[in-house]
């Protein structure tokens, strides 16, 4: 019975996604298309090896740094701004944040005007249709010292997914904060594509010596996916952020959105119940571990 329910969910979700994305093509790669994203910092689509090489390059020390004693993040799948009230909720919840990580962010939403005091935006485009472009975006109060993006493809639908990788200077430490903003592949029978996406992230994080935040919509709607995610994160020394008021979006009783960290202590973690998306936003306050 459980298998039948799951298969039905996947089937109708896939049909709906195909209908909604019938005009979508592949990842945006042309320079002319990327120039349309004025005000957003974009990085070329690269392999995990290329991203690792880029992150390993020496670079000038940034004068602007995130306060290592007060790192507050907001993570939210904002559902392309399809529900009413998203702008007010985003303005309210982004106040006082160091980083805002959004999935299903649409260019047409003019997001920079709705995010409080986080002027730098690293955008990783994924889907494109004749009217809009969506992907994942990481807003920050300081400019990232480096930014690269990884791509994946939905096995059933052939549509792209993006992972945003950014790195920031921190106060009172020589180490930098690496932030991974991910929207994981969703519709697949097996775990091959899911493992591949997680392995790319693991390759990057295994080389990074500083603190880490991995956050996003991980689409852990079945036990096998959840176990794969937890195993991958634990093998890298990352801990799950737990919420006392756990109002995260669930499917089959399992939360889809997660935040993991390494080298940081959790000061506060809250999930907000909203009607402005089908996912509830999460805020977490961190401090550099002593």
Q: pLDDT tens-digit profile of 230-275? A: 999 999 999 999 999 999 999 999 999 999 999 999 999 999 999 9
- Which ranges in 154-281 belong to alpha helices (H)? 192-205, 223-235
Percent of the chain residues topping a pLDDT of 70: 80
Q: Which residues are CB-neighbours of 205 under 8 A, at least 6 positions away?
A: 178, 180, 212, 214, 236, 238, 262
CA distance 176 to 195: 27
Please give the residue range of the domain that contains residue 56.
Answer: 25-288
Question: Does 283 fall in a domain?
Answer: yes
Domains held by the chain: number: 1
CA distances for 46 relative to 35, 39, 51, 125, 231, angstroms: 18, 21, 6, 13, 25
* Contacts of residue 109, Cβ cutoff 8 Å, sequence gap at least 6: 78, 80, 81, 86, 87
- Judge whether 169 lies within some domain: yes
- pLDDT, tens digit, for every residue of 152-187? 777 766 677 889 999 999 999 999 999 999 999 887
- The backbone region for 62, taken as left when phi is positive above 0, alpha when psi lies in -120 to 50, beta otherwise, is beta
76 vs 88: CA distance, rounded Å: 14
**CB-count exposure of residue 245 (10 Å: 0-12, 13-18, 19+):** exposed
Is residue 88 included in any domain, yes or no? Answer: yes
Residue 4 covered by a domain: no
Q: In this structure, how many other beta carbons lie within 10 angstroms of the beta carbon of residue 52? A: 19
The answer as to whether 8 is a domain residue is no
Strand, helix or coil at 43? coil
195-230 pLDDT, tens per residue? 999 999 998 899 899 999 999 999 999 999 999 999
Cα separations in angstroms, 288 against 45, 100, 101, 172, 285: 31, 18, 19, 9, 10
7 is a domain residue = no
Closest to 211 measured CA to CA, from 236, 228, 229: 236
Neighbours of 201 (CB within 10 A): 22
Contact predicate 196/190, CB 8 Å: no
Residue 238 lies in a domain: yes
The CA distance from 172 to 69, in Å, is 9
Model pLDDT, residue 189: 66
CATH at 142: 3.60.10.10
Q: Is 198 a member of any domain?
A: yes
Which is more confident, 18 or 173? 173
Q: Computed over its alpha carbons, how large is the radius of gyration of the chain?
A: 18
- Look up the pTM and report it: 0.86
Structure tokens of 163? Answer: 């992972």
**Residue 26 pLDDT exceeds 60:** no
């Amino acid at each position: 019975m459980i298998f039948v329910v799951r298969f039905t969910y996947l089937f109708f979700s896939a049909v709906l996604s195909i209908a909604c994305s019938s005009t979508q093509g592949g990842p945006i790669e042309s320079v002319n298309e990327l120039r349309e994203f004025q005000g957003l910092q974009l990085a070329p689509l690269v392999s995990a090896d290329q991203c690792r090489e880029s992150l390993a390059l020496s670079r000038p020390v940034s004068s602007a740094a995130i306060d290592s004693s007060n790192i507050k993040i907001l993570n939210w799948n904002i559902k392309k701004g399809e529900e009413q009230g998203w702008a007010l909720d985003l303005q309210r919840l982004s106040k006082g944040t160091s980083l805002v990580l959004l999935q299903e962010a649409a260019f047409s939403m003019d997001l920079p005007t709705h995010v409080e005091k986080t002027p730098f935006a690293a955008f990783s485009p994924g889907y494109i249709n004749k009217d809009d472009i969506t992907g994942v975006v990481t807003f920050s109060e300081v400019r990232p010292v480096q930014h690269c993006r990884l791509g994946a493809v939905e096995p059933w639908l052939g549509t792209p997914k993006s992972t945003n990788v950014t790195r920031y200077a921190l106060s009172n430490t020589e180490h930098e904060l690496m932030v991974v903003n991910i929207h994981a592949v969703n519709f697949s029978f097996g775990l091959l594509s899911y493992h591949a996406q997680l392995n790319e992230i693991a390759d990057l994080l295994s080389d990074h010596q500083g603190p880490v935040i991995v956050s996003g919509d991980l689409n852990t709607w079945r036990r096998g996916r959840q176990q794969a995610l937890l195993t991958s994160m634990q093998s890298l020394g990352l801990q799950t952020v737990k919420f006392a008021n756990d109002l995260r979006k669930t499917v089959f009783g399992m939360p889809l959105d997660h935040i993991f960290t390494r080298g940081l202590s959790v000061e506060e973690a809250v999930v907000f119940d909203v009607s402005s998306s089908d996912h509830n936003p999460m805020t977490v306050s961190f401090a550099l571990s002593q």
